[in-house]
Structure 1
Amino acid sequence: MSAPNGSSPQTEPVISEEALRKAEQYIEEEEGAANRMTGWIGGFLVLVAVVMSLFHLYSAYAIVPTQTLRLVHVAFVLFLSFLLFPLARRFRHNIMWWDWIAAFLAIAIVVYAIMGGDDFTDRNTTPEPLDIFFGVALILLVLEAMRRTTGWIMPVVTVCFLLYALFGAYLPQPWTHKGYEVGRLVGQMYMTLEGIFGVAVDVSSSLIILFTIFGAFLQFSNAGKFYIDFSFSAMGGKPTGAGRTVVLASFLLGGPSGSGVATTVTLGSVAWPMLAKVGYERNAAGGLLAAGGLGAIISPPVLGAAAFLIAEFLKISYLDVLMMAAIPTILFYLALFLMVEIDARKYGMGDTAFEKVDTVWNLTRRYWFHFLSLISIVVFMMLGYSPVLSVFWATIVTFLVSFLRSDTALLSYDLFRGKGSLKEHILNSKLVKALEAGSVGMLNVATTCAGAGLIVGVVTLTGLGLKFSSIVIDYAGGSLFLTTLYTALVVWIVGLAVPVTASYIICAVIAAPALTKLGVPDFAAHMFIFYYAVLSEVSPPTALSPFAASAITGGDPYKTTMQCWKYTVPAFLLPFMFVLDPSGQGLLLMGSTKALASANWWSIAEVTITAAIGIAAIAAGFQGWMFVRTTLPERIMLIIAGFALVYPGMIADVLGFGLVLVALVSQYVRGRRVALRA
């Protein structure tokens, strides 16, 4: 059997160091290219990062005033960002004098605000000259920190919003507003909890960093390795085993991390040789790996950082957000499983076997506690704990159960045996590395949240959200379908330029009102925007997950991106279901546990089954294969059926089911003929 690209699948490729370095560059594009420091400076930076993580763990359990927590969080983030991320690549691995000035200026600005107390916040409409100086300095520092950690696009977008606030009086209708002076703008952005220190930073300081620390604890206790090994063993030995392994491992590995690119690279470096061995060509393998990585952003228990913002914007519990994501996540992975099943038939993959690391039973018997760590967050939330306390105690659980085996322990067993000095054991421990990674790993998200606070502040101050929603509705002529379509396009276009978190925040304040004005519930509108914001991960020029996958497989970045679209398109039609018709809200389990208690379970089951059949039809149509290769009429019928089934309504459903039935009969008849000839 030959691979689709003509190469023999028996030749197992070796991933070169150059390919891995190139893949790491895409992670750096998402997370920033950090300095690697040694000596006393390196030790100092590790200490600051560890103290930052310990402070936030303390604040999760103890009572720290909201205003203090947000300001201290921003101070830590800016301080570390300026010392860890260089002004330009030529200064990398060196901390320059201007970096120290910027870092300590950030601390001075926050100390000034905290020491000012209530008097400081009360004069936000009439700030003093020193307030304006520190406020302007903070805005500039946030913009520069964003540039260093995420690139130029997000700062440029933020500056455009700030200019809109300053010069709105000179714009034509309907965009015009009275315009605001620098002092008034600074008062909003620096001296209240409506700008930089607003909702986004609140979520960053209270939830995102705690989940990042939790993910780091899992990583350094070797949970990630276990999830990959478990998936390999559970799914091996079958024609579709390689593809299934990627799907299952991406869920287990990505769920706790919430990072699409990191999941793609981690999984790809292990899974690509296996995918090539069973017959995947480079671009198809890269597309599948990237699609699996994309699942990390929409999969419980962590999802992406934007999921925490949904809970804060809607003033609902994070458990409700997890619940809303449950069925769409299942359907997303159903689509991927169907795709790899079709791949096995389409590419004629035989029973190519690959070595298992161990049996599922042996792996589970030795490392079962990693599953306990994974589900403990949800268990704590179901017991009534807040999301903050849930992730705090889940982190403690992960720390404690790591000692069940010496190879997963976050502190060496030798420490308890009295071997070596306490100082050496602590400094070189996995625990310190996990605490450091927990802070450093979220700096790019935190700076984005601070910058997004500037955007939200402008939208609040100028009323831009209401203006924008009115414009969208006018263009759509009041049609909910067209408004939804335009909103999806707006979110997608914004997502082409900025990361998922920023894309969601921007569109949540400017685009969500258009949907809610036409009667769409808040939770459905925000989940719709969240899912289309996630598309930024697979859309050039910021298609970082497919580009990282192509670096590993040696495929073409843009062809890999198109393959990724093929694997993910069925699932991304789902958001239209829970926006266009009330019955579709069953896919979100009605948005809350309270609403679910009185919901019609048959209606939820019906819409879920309809969505699943629609996804299956689209998968078969896009792949051009069902039981046997589809003819052109069958392919057209399946694609039309899929779109009809994800568009709510009796007529659309009847059309969709009818076309699927015709295609099934046609496939069955042709399949029998092929079998008889054989």
Structure 2
Amino acid sequence: MTHPDKARRDDAEAVDPEFDSPEANQDLIETYEAESPTRKLTGPWALIVTAIAVGLSVYALYATRATISAQIYRTAFLGIALVLTFLLYPMIRGSKREGGITGLIFGGARVGLIDLVLVAASVVVSAYPIRNFDEFVYRAARPNETDVLMGTICIVLVLEATRRTIGWILPAVAMGGLAYAFWGDVFPDQWGHRGYELDRVVGTMYISLEGLYGTALAVAATFIVLFMIYGAVLEFSGAGKFFLDFSFAATGSKPSGAGRTTTIAGFLLGTVSGSGVATTVTLGSVAWPMLKRAGYSRESGGAVLSAGGIGAILSPPTLGAAAFLIAEFLQISYLEVLRMAIIPTIFYYLSIFLMIELDARKMGATSVAIETEPIWTLTRKYWYHFTSLIAIVVFMVLGYTPMTAVVYATGLAFLLSFLRRDTAITPPRIVKTLRAGSVSTLSVASTCATAGLIVGVMTLTGLGLKMSDLIVDLANGNLFLTVVFTAVAVLVLGLAVPVTASYIIAAAITAPAMISLGVPEVAAHMFIFYYAVLSEVSPPTALAPFAASAITGGNPFKTMMVTWKYTLPAFVVPFMFTLDTSGGVALLAMGPTQEIVLATVTGCLAIVAMVGGVGGWIVRPASWPERIVLIVASGLLFYTGTLQDLIGLALLIAGIGIHLLRTRRGASGTGGPSAVSIPGPAA
């Protein structure tokens, strides 16, 4: 396994073939991913975990066709997920204890006695409600003593599983929420409530669908696990490698080609990994040598990797896990969410490509001829990897549910893998695929269950509405300040918890505040979703840039700031959803066609202006007055309104015109860029 330090090599002559395997760079991913690393079990325990994990995937697939009570399915799903979590995730992150009494009890690299006790407890608290389900669900308001005991143990197990997978912060927030539910009477009047007894709290969290088994877990147990299985099928059929090769072959050899190639590859690869950090690391291992040869600094190269790695989570056709929650919370189809994401995706990649183009000119990047198979040869061999991605959208357009669509697409990808022997998902690969699909869902399952506790407390006590009112009061009813406070709140949440949990909590607290001031509900939730995702590339703890800097050997802080510069327009675009109600709907592809087109064109002009102003380059280096004019123009164009748009457009034309007049006097011809050749991704 490659150590992170090895990735900081100065010699970029070739790409290590190891980087093309599905297990590539796992150490580096685990170092910077929000989730903790799992145990590398061997022997009987490995077989047991594999059997349980495969069983969970099969159960999830079976549930799409069978008639199972929603609560029974969620209860069983969470129970199996807890069992796998305690077997795979050590009590202490990175613990390597093997022998001795402490190793026997607490575990480490191996399963310990405490892990086995927690596994047994998980089985009991999950089997208990299923055994007498009809009687159990009617006791939500008046649970008996056994219900309370089982519910309390279940809550503790979920908190411990979440601590093991993503750290202590989210469980600490949940415990604070539970304490507030018990002792609300000690708080001041505007924040307090009468307080609830243990049986009422446990009844809500364990027996009803307003706590552990609420909407968040429902999404994890249906949409997310199925898409994880689909991603695993793509991964083990070689789609990830094909997407990289395709991107390398598709992009021309212009000076900015290396950056464009990396960005396109990140978009395609992200549909397989579903993780910004994982995409950044996998992409960086093969793309950094190319970027370095093209003339990118360590920090600029890391920024391109980070921006490309995060882009797929914001983009159709798969988006991130939180997108399924948007559909569930708003009671709209997932296809509607995909449609709403199209224009923001155009804006995101337009800004990235423009920033890459300007930086390539500023740094004098050279063209890089990549030695890989011609694009038509690759397409002729592996065209079928695109088919299932298209099929998901087609099935949903035809009226199928997202669950049915992804199951059919998974089956299609599986069958098409047999078109070539090297991509065929044979029985051993089937086992690996089903195992990977369910294991990759474990952290999401525990996170969603814990987030369900927090949402349940807010519903039970009214805390969500109180915090929403506080935001509006702090902003004095001003929409702009309310949106700014919301953005800050989501980014702060993103420092400590994964994207999914950040979205769930922020949606419960801040979305009502924006909606109360006239922001369309869909715009409010899309705003929160985008900022939850962008927290992975925002200061001060941007995980994706930190992972990229480990590969390039660059300064982590400088890499983070350059990444922030590359993605800055993406931070501004969500404000267009919210600061003008009609413009916001239009930018989400809703409303009259002419409004959608006008809003899209205006947004593109705003991004052009911002890139020129922030990047400091148009056709030559821009002067500070020119940059200021462009930045002001972008601000006016972003703030949707006819007068603002006209003034912004005039300033944009003036800024570019002045720059062209100034540079024409001192323009001089330059020679064409030289070309160098490096090997493409290893076969």
Q: Normalization by structure 2: what TM-score?
A: 0.92
Alignment of 1:591-610 (within 5 A): 596=590, 599-610=591-602
Alignment of 1:424-443 (within 5 A): 426=427, 429-443=428-442
The superposition leaves residues 109-160 of structure 1 with CA deviations (integer Å, 9 ceiling, x where unpaired) of 1110111212212111221111111111111100100010101111111111
Q: Structure 2: how far apart are the matches of 1:200 and 1:11? A: 44
Aligned to 1:101: 117
The alignment status of 1:84 with 2:88, answered yes or no, reads yes
- Aligned residues of 1:283 and 1:560 also touching (Cα < 8 A): yes
Report the residue type matching 1:131 in the other structure: D
Q: Structure 1: how far apart are the matches of 2:191 and 2:604? A: 42
Match of residue 245, structure 2, among 229, 232, 245: 229
In the TM superposition, residue 11 of structure 1 has moved relative to its aligned partner by 6.0
Match of residue 45, structure 1, among 43, 49, 56: 49
The superposition leaves residues 333-387 of structure 1 with CA deviations (integer Å, 9 ceiling, x where unpaired) of 1111111111111111133x23231111000011000110221111110111001
Match of residue 199, structure 1, among 192, 215, 227: 215
Q: Structure 2: how far apart are the matches of 1:543 and 1:312? A: 28
Aligned to 1:567: 566
Aligned to 1:300: 316
Q: Secondary structure at the match of 1:655?
A: helix
- Aligned residues of 2:34 and 2:497 also touching (Cα < 8 A): no
The superposition leaves residues 37-62 of structure 1 with CA deviations (integer Å, 9 ceiling, x where unpaired) of 11111111111101110110111122
RMSD: 2.0
Match of residue 603, structure 2, among 611, 617, 622: 611
Q: Secondary structure at the match of 1:573?
A: helix
Report the residue type matching 1:584 in the other structure: G
- Aligned residues of 2:206 and 2:213 also touching (Cα < 8 A): yes
Deviates more, 1:173-182 or 1:368-377: 173-182
In the TM superposition, residue 676 of structure 1 has moved relative to its aligned partner by 5.1
Q: Structure 2: how far apart are the matches of 1:116 and 1:464? A: 33
- Aligned residues of 2:587 and 2:599 also touching (Cα < 8 A): no
The alignment status of 1:327 with 2:343, answered yes or no, reads yes
In the TM superposition, residue 637 of structure 1 has moved relative to its aligned partner by 1.3
Aligned to 2:504: 505
The superposition leaves residues 259-300 of structure 1 with CA deviations (integer Å, 9 ceiling, x where unpaired) of 111111110111001000001101111111111111121111
The superposition leaves residues 425-458 of structure 1 with CA deviations (integer Å, 9 ceiling, x where unpaired) of x3xx211111100001111111100100100100
Q: How many residues align?
A: 647
Aligned to 2:140: 124
Q: Are residues 144 and 619 of structure 1, via their aligned partners in 2, closer, same or farther at CA, if it must alter by over 3 Å?
A: same
Q: Secondary structure at the match of 1:225?
A: helix
- Aligned residues of 1:235 and 1:241 also touching (Cα < 8 A): yes
Q: Structure 1: how far apart are the matches of 2:630 and 2:14? A: 36
Q: Are residues 566 and 450 of structure 1, via their aligned partners in 2, closer, same or farther at CA, if it must alter by over 3 Å?
A: same
Match of residue 72, structure 1, among 66, 76, 81: 76
- Aligned residues of 1:257 and 1:302 also touching (Cα < 8 A): no
Q: Structure 1: how far apart are the matches of 2:517 and 2:525? A: 14
Q: Structure 2: how far apart are the matches of 1:237 and 1:454? A: 52
- Aligned residues of 2:211 and 2:453 also touching (Cα < 8 A): yes
Q: Are residues 281 and 505 of structure 1, via their aligned partners in 2, closer, same or farther at CA, if it must alter by over 3 Å?
A: same
Q: Structure 2: how far apart are the matches of 1:618 and 1:92? A: 50
Report the residue type matching 2:550 in the other structure: A
Match of residue 57, structure 1, among 58, 61, 64: 61
In the TM superposition, residue 13 of structure 1 has moved relative to its aligned partner by 7.9
The alignment status of 1:312 with 2:328, answered yes or no, reads yes
Aligned to 2:378: 363
Aligned to 2:157: 141
Alignment of 1:121-520 (within 5 A): 121-351=137-367, 353-411=368-426, 426=427, 429-520=428-519
Q: Structure 2: how far apart are the matches of 1:441 and 1:154? A: 19
Aligned to 1:649: 641
Aligned to 1:24: 29
Report the residue type matching 2:357 in the other structure: E
In the TM superposition, residue 169 of structure 1 has moved relative to its aligned partner by 1.1
In the TM superposition, residue 638 of structure 1 has moved relative to its aligned partner by 1.4
Report the residue type matching 1:538 in the other structure: V
Q: Secondary structure at the match of 2:255?
A: coil
Q: Secondary structure at the match of 1:193?
A: coil
In the TM superposition, residue 21 of structure 1 has moved relative to its aligned partner by 6.5
Q: Structure 2: how far apart are the matches of 1:668 and 1:552? A: 39
Deviates more, 1:123-132 or 1:79-88: 123-132
Q: Are residues 16 and 143 of structure 1, via their aligned partners in 2, closer, same or farther at CA, if it must alter by over 3 Å?
A: farther
Report the residue type matching 1:24 in the other structure: I
Q: Structure 2: how far apart are the matches of 1:62 and 1:22? A: 39
In the TM superposition, residue 195 of structure 1 has moved relative to its aligned partner by 0.2
Identity of matched residues, %: 52
Report the residue type matching 2:62 in the other structure: Y
Report the residue type matching 1:34 in the other structure: T
Q: Structure 2: how far apart are the matches of 1:122 and 1:363? A: 59
Q: Secondary structure at the match of 1:355?
A: strand
- Aligned residues of 2:630 and 2:655 also touching (Cα < 8 A): yes
Q: Structure 2: how far apart are the matches of 1:604 and 1:288? A: 30
Alignment of 1:624-643 (within 5 A): 624-643=616-635
- Aligned residues of 1:52 and 1:439 also touching (Cα < 8 A): yes
Aligned to 1:33: 37
Aligned to 2:677: none
Q: Structure 1: how far apart are the matches of 2:586 and 2:230? A: 29
Q: Secondary structure at the match of 2:371?
A: coil
Q: Structure 2: how far apart are the matches of 1:227 and 1:17? A: 17
Q: Are residues 466 and 552 of structure 1, via their aligned partners in 2, closer, same or farther at CA, if it must alter by over 3 Å?
A: same
Q: Are residues 200 and 297 of structure 1, via their aligned partners in 2, closer, same or farther at CA, if it must alter by over 3 Å?
A: same
In the TM superposition, residue 9 of structure 1 has moved relative to its aligned partner by 10
Unmatched tracts of structure 1, length 5 or more: 1-6, 412-425, 591-595
In the TM superposition, residue 221 of structure 1 has moved relative to its aligned partner by 0.3
- Aligned residues of 1:532 and 1:572 also touching (Cα < 8 A): yes
Q: Structure 2: how far apart are the matches of 1:666 and 1:399? A: 57
Aligned to 1:114: 130
In the TM superposition, residue 479 of structure 1 has moved relative to its aligned partner by 1.4
- Aligned residues of 1:83 and 1:95 also touching (Cα < 8 A): yes
In the TM superposition, residue 586 of structure 1 has moved relative to its aligned partner by 4.1
Q: Structure 2: how far apart are the matches of 1:257 and 1:60? A: 23
- Aligned residues of 2:270 and 2:309 also touching (Cα < 8 A): yes
In the TM superposition, residue 652 of structure 1 has moved relative to its aligned partner by 2.1
Q: Structure 1: how far apart are the matches of 2:131 and 2:249? A: 57
Q: Structure 2: how far apart are the matches of 1:16 and 1:376? A: 32
Q: Are residues 344 and 540 of structure 1, via their aligned partners in 2, closer, same or farther at CA, if it must alter by over 3 Å?
A: closer
Report the residue type matching 1:646 in the other structure: F
The alignment status of 1:555 with 2:554, answered yes or no, reads yes
- Aligned residues of 1:23 and 1:549 also touching (Cα < 8 A): no
- Aligned residues of 1:640 and 1:656 also touching (Cα < 8 A): yes
- Aligned residues of 1:323 and 1:589 also touching (Cα < 8 A): yes
Q: Structure 2: how far apart are the matches of 1:285 and 1:211? A: 30
- Aligned residues of 2:288 and 2:301 also touching (Cα < 8 A): yes
Unmatched tracts of structure 2, length 5 or more: 1-7, 97-106, 671-683
Q: Are residues 291 and 559 of structure 1, via their aligned partners in 2, closer, same or farther at CA, if it must alter by over 3 Å?
A: same
The superposition leaves residues 84-126 of structure 1 with CA deviations (integer Å, 9 ceiling, x where unpaired) of 0011124432000111110121111111011121221211122
Report the residue type matching 1:383 in the other structure: L
Report the residue type matching 1:83 in the other structure: L
Q: Are residues 62 and 438 of structure 1, via their aligned partners in 2, closer, same or farther at CA, if it must alter by over 3 Å?
A: same
Q: Structure 2: how far apart are the matches of 1:162 and 1:16? A: 50
Q: Structure 2: how far apart are the matches of 1:662 and 1:526? A: 36
Report the residue type matching 1:454 in the other structure: L
